[in-house]
A and B are shown apart, each in its own frame.
Chain A
């Protein structure tokens, strides 16, 4: 096997229950050939980072519509640093004012997708092996709680 599927955690941190976007993105990433683990609602930053490290994820996609994005992005990126897992890309979307995007990126976040962003194209569905190993996963599974 020369290529390992990209493995993404799609997470809903905090108390926000709006999961339409997270689920559409999770499904789109899966349709684009990635392995997707969707955490479900009400995840603490600790739970999200734990899942990402445990699942040997390449990226964490977080969806926040409650306005608490600065807190959650900051906390998740900080915990990844503590766990020496800063190679895991943190990206996200939701109701996030444009002005906040540079702030989130200065914290270390990758792309921030606002409303109206198209689903990712299938061509980004695989990437070269990352050199890290992890147990095999099915792409369809629920949260860990």
Chain B
């Protein structure tokens, strides 16, 4: 701003302040203090004065150029829309396959596989710990036989697939590679993502298996293997989503996610890998929560911060490795069981935030998810929500349309500043692993969650239909999706039939090779796991051997 302009703004501000003072006497504001959903203070009005330190070139730049605040591609959605990717999976591979085909027929552009908890924790469906859980929150996958069914009739060279799998990520990636090979698609051509983010499992999501050290080894083995063999694969999806769902603020979501990212980059660099290479395949996963302006700012701040971290901290010069590419999911924790149809509107607002924040792919939640897994109908509405924003709202037609908004740029700066402070603090504690071991990260999140809960109960924070504008709903006759308990028994039968039909000597030798390789940190486990799954060694068998060798993580309970 030129000096004369600046003086003019300052003069106008004085006039405005006088007006406000008078106005407030007649009409006080609704609240003493205004804050974002994440607790950042909000001023009454933002002006050019709030952006005085902003350096357009250094802090914003152009889309597709460092520091990527305005987006990772030069043309963003004018080129192509984000990938509309609905997380789905339940019961058996057959039923999930049918849901995927339905979603593809409805215009979804990428798949996202939800596995059941036994699969996520490395137990076969017949394990004692799997009782009651088989097929409940996702599809049960024990072996290549299930994986073949899951992707039957879905061409893997055309569809990209994201798999929410962490501790046993190498096994599921191996299975995907094996299915691809059966379809005649070589692994060089496969594209997709494994979540593979163990640190946030320790912090917020809970599907860990092994202790940190061997877990980090499995992850860096994947980085290395994919760098040379599966170059289009996103080797990790460093996730703030679950941290936010566990109750964190927006600032904490950015800070803890990027701090996790730093820990992975450091681990791979220590193994001698080049961050310019593996850095290109790191991807991120964020939450789109209710507070629209804060969320848009959050995505922009995260991109700017990560680019600076990669460039300044790790000396990365490759542009692809400086870019923070991310998937978004709308916030499950904002869905209400009361008046569930209202959730359609919440999801629409959150979708707008993700899109204006420049997401690369998006999952929109279904309105009935506070009650059960979504039905085909509710999933359809969720997907249509994305299509309406994409094709009808107009916000996609110019890149980063909220840039330059005084409030959005101010919040972007503030989120980046506060997140950097957290990252410095975590550095000071010896990095993310030790911050988690100390319980610091968990405590920060839980405190924020408890504060939110109290704010809702004191009606300081309004949730429509929950603590205000309630209606007497009576007993709803909603059609909810149910997973029958017979699913578990059938899956166990299938597993046992498969086991008696395979070459069990081959299975034993594969498992022994994995065991001995697990004892030698210099050996990459990935190729052995690929060989094993091709021989129909089950996920539970592979994870069982690794459990014996690596031990199991014990939760550090923080309350």
Residues of A at under 8 Å CB distance from B? 14-20, 23-24, 26-28, 30, 36, 38, 40-42, 44, 66-68, 70-72, 75, 95, 97-99, 114-116, 118-119, 140, 142-143, 145
Contact = CB atoms under 8 A, between A and B. Distances in A.
Contacts of A27: 446, 450, 559
B118 interface: yes
Given A67-B136, A72-B132, A116-B466, A95 B370 contact: yes
A20 B449 contact: yes
Contact of A26 (B136, B207, B559): B559
A110 B383 CA distance: 38
A24 B554 contact: no
B489 interface: no
A66 B136 contact: yes
B262 interface: no
Given A24-B449, A66-B117, A116-B338, A17 B132 contact: no
B535 interface: no
B373 interface: yes
B476 interface: yes
Interface of B: 117-118, 120-121, 123, 129-133, 136-137, 201, 205-207, 245-247, 333, 335-338, 369-373, 446, 449-450, 453-454, 457, 463, 466, 475-476, 480, 483, 485, 554-555, 557, 559
A17 B559 contact: no
A36 B559 CA distance: 10
Contact of B557 (A24, A30, A71, A143): A143
Given A23-B446, A41-B555, A142-B559, A97 B372 contact: yes
Contact of B133 (A68, A75, A98): A68
Contacts of A95: 369-372
A145 B449 contact: no
Nearest to A114: B337
B555 A14 contact: no
Given A115-B337, A142-B557, A142-B559, A17 B201 contact: yes
6 contacts: A15-B120, A67-B373, A68-B136, A97-B372, A99-B480, A115-B335
Contacts of B554: 145
